[in-house]
Amino acid sequence: MSEAQIVVYPKPADVSQAAAIRIGEALSRAVAERGVAHWVTTGGSTPGPIYRHLADSPLRETVPWEHVHLWWSDERWVRPDDILSNALACWDLLLRNAPIPLEQVHVIPIAPAMDSGEGPDAVAERYAATMRAAFMELDPFGFPRMDVILVGVGSDGHLFSVFPDSVTWDDPRWVQAVSAPTHIAPHVARVTLHGALVTAARRPIVVMYGAPKAAILGRLFGSPIDTRRLPAQLARRTGAVWLLDEAAASGIPPSVPVIHVAASPDAGPTGLPRIQEVQGVQAMVDPDRIVPARDGTPIAVFRSGVATAGTRPLVVVHGTGADHLTFRVVAPTLGIRRVIHAIDRRGRGRSGDAPMAYSIEREFEDLAAVAEALAVEAGEPVDVLGHSFGGRCALGASLLTRSIRRIVCYEGAPPRDAGPHSAYEPAWLLSTLAEDLSRGDLEGLLERFMRTVVGMDDTGMARFRADPVWPLRVAAAPTILREMGASNDPAAGLDALAHATVPILQVLGSESRPSFRLNTEALDSRLAAGRVSVIEGAAHAAHHTHPHAFVRVVETFLDEPDTGVGA
């Protein structure tokens, strides 16, 4: 097998930009030569930043998207709004802006099969039939010749959902069902394309970022070709290109030729890094705007969605331990009819910090500054959706500005009193988390918080750890302690926040811990224009577990006409 080209860039941001450009070039060339382009994309954390580049200028305007067919290399046996879905990020980051006709977006049809009681084998057969109907050119071995395939590689050397020593090698079908892997998360069944599509493709593009990828790259390029043991070695073929950052490329044996590309600027126009890398996981690229807080701290704001008549901009505010990505499941649906502005609160994600001067009042001021900036732009007050601690920030911000029209607060009420039934956490927790922090055990700190305060069980914890954002959450774990401490500030207490006068919908999950219900009811009894809605079957993370019900409750409230009471 002849060798692929390996190109090394200084930073993950450079890799994602280069990948987007190469994908755009390959698609444009295919359309020019054949009138149509077939692109297979991948899942995991790899494609997110690439989608953002493709959906932005100039690629959004220059790629002939109307002639592109989009396919997926594999999909997990989950619904399309599940955080584990490979298609979810593509809908959010690419397809809202890149005008690919919907009939040419070929999602692996997991959800219809779930609804009808069919299994992965039936889905595989149906997806293969869809591919055959697209009249693609075949390679000499009868596999479809895709124009470009974006490939991510797992730590075990798998590509797509073709795992080492997989039985799929003995099955010539284009699309195959795969049992839930036991050696690598998430442990769910899959539907995958055959690995041979990599060898059939005109242009495979492999993208790998971060130091954790160095070890497997050493094996892939330092070992004899054995694609059953290391399936990703299929992409060592002529015509394939591997795009790596310096950290990942450090594992490539010195004897393997690589091309090093000169450095690009370290920062974008905001002065912030273009991509934040935490243990090889990339957050979104540059925020759409930076709003200076009252103390000068930069607050990052990410815009999505489409404005329609009768809707206001919606600012979404994450809770403790999270960042703006926590809304990635519900934002695409919320954004169908309204513009969404997701912020990173101070001290995490793409925003700045002033840790020595931290207080919850600063959080209130930050959100008030964002609301005021967006209200000036829109010419009218904005709506705010806050989850947990973010809901408390929304309540506090409404006391500082007239630029907030309505608030949806999901389980963000302050404790009604100092009693044990109202407390969100036991008295011993803060000191125990401080001990975790002093030992440098950030994962333990985060898990202890999620289990004790949020009420996450073993299953939920396993899914959370398998989520691509887990390393980002671990990196932000030190902020948990200060926010728990800030909750005791009188400015965040019931007496203070009950003075909010804008219309406020508090939302509860029926399965949440009793303290959430008790405190929500206590706040509602004192609000001038409050009400409570319950999402049945949900707990604290309804925006992930019950996204459709969550969106329905939010939109119903925001779409109500203003009556002048509290408005």
More confident residue, 170 or 100: 100
Check whether 268 has a pLDDT greater than 80. Answer: no
Q: Tokens 């030190």 — which residue? A: 478
Residues facing residue 104 across a β-bridge? none
Question: For the residues 192-211, what does the mean pLDDT come to?
Answer: 92
Check whether 169 has a pLDDT greater than 80. Answer: no
Q: Return the pLDDT at 285.
A: 40
Give the H or E element holding residue 48. helix 48-54
Check whether 344 has a pLDDT greater than 50. Answer: yes
Q: What are phi and psi of 53, to 5 degrees?
A: -65, -45
More confident residue, 503 or 489: 503
**DSSP track, 457-498:** -HHHHHHHHHSTTHHHHHHTTTHHHHHHHHTTSGGGSHHHHT
Question: For the residues 357-370, what does the mean pLDDT come to?
Answer: 95
Q: Return the pLDDT at 271.
A: 29
- Three-state secondary structure string covering 308-325: CCCCCCEEEECCCCCCHH
Whether residue 448 contacts residue 439, with contact meaning beta carbons closer than 8 Å, is answered with: no
HSE (CB half, 13 Å, CA atoms) of 466? Answer: 19
- pLDDT-derived band at 367 (thresholds 50, 70, 90) equals very high
Question: In this structure, which topology does domain 283-558 adopt according to CATH?
Answer: Rossmann fold (3.40.50)
Q: Return the pLDDT at 420.
A: 58
Identify residue 278 by its one-letter amino acid code: V
The pTM for the full model equals 0.55
Q: Return the pLDDT at 139.
A: 72
Check whether 333 has a pLDDT greater than 80. Answer: no
CATH of domain 5-260: 3.40.50.1360
Q: Return the pLDDT at 544.
A: 85
Question: For the residues 493-517, what does the mean pLDDT come to?
Answer: 95
User: Which residue in 68, 71, 72 sits closest to 27, CA to CA?
Assistant: 68
Domain ranges for the chain:
5-260, 283-558
- pLDDT-derived band at 64 (thresholds 50, 70, 90) equals very high
Distance from C-alpha of 32 to C-alpha of 566, rounded to nearest angstrom: 58
Q: What are phi and psi of 8, to 5 degrees?
A: -115, 130
Q: Return the pLDDT at 170.
A: 63
Q: Return the pLDDT at 355.
A: 74
Q: Return the pLDDT at 530.
A: 97
Distance from C-alpha of 305 to C-alpha of 328, rounded to nearest angstrom: 12
Task: Enumerate residues 6+ apart whose C-beta is below 8 A from 374.
Answer: 301, 313, 315, 341, 382, 403
- pLDDT-derived band at 512 (thresholds 50, 70, 90) equals very high
Q: Return the pLDDT at 562.
A: 87
Average pLDDT of the chain is 87
Check whether 361 has a pLDDT greater than 90. Answer: yes
Rounded to the nearest angstrom, the gap between the alpha carbon of residue 356 and the centroid of all alpha carbons in its chain is 30
Least confident of 105-114, 360-369, 464-473, 487-496: 464-473
Q: Return the pLDDT at 348.
A: 86
For β-strands 289-292 and 298-305, DSSP reports them as antiparallel
Give the H or E element holding residue 123. helix 120-133
User: Which residue in 387, 388, 318 sits closest to 350, CA to CA?
Assistant: 318
Question: For the residues 184-188, what does the mean pLDDT come to?
Answer: 77
- pLDDT-derived band at 151 (thresholds 50, 70, 90) equals very high
Least confident of 279-293, 295-309, 490-504: 279-293
- Percent pLDDT > 70 in the chain is 91
Distance from C-alpha of 352 to C-alpha of 115, rounded to nearest angstrom: 45
Identify residue 373 by its one-letter amino acid code: A
- In order of 29, 188, 295, 396, 412, the CA distances from 362 in angstroms are 51, 42, 8, 10, 17
Distance from C-alpha of 194 to C-alpha of 74, rounded to nearest angstrom: 9
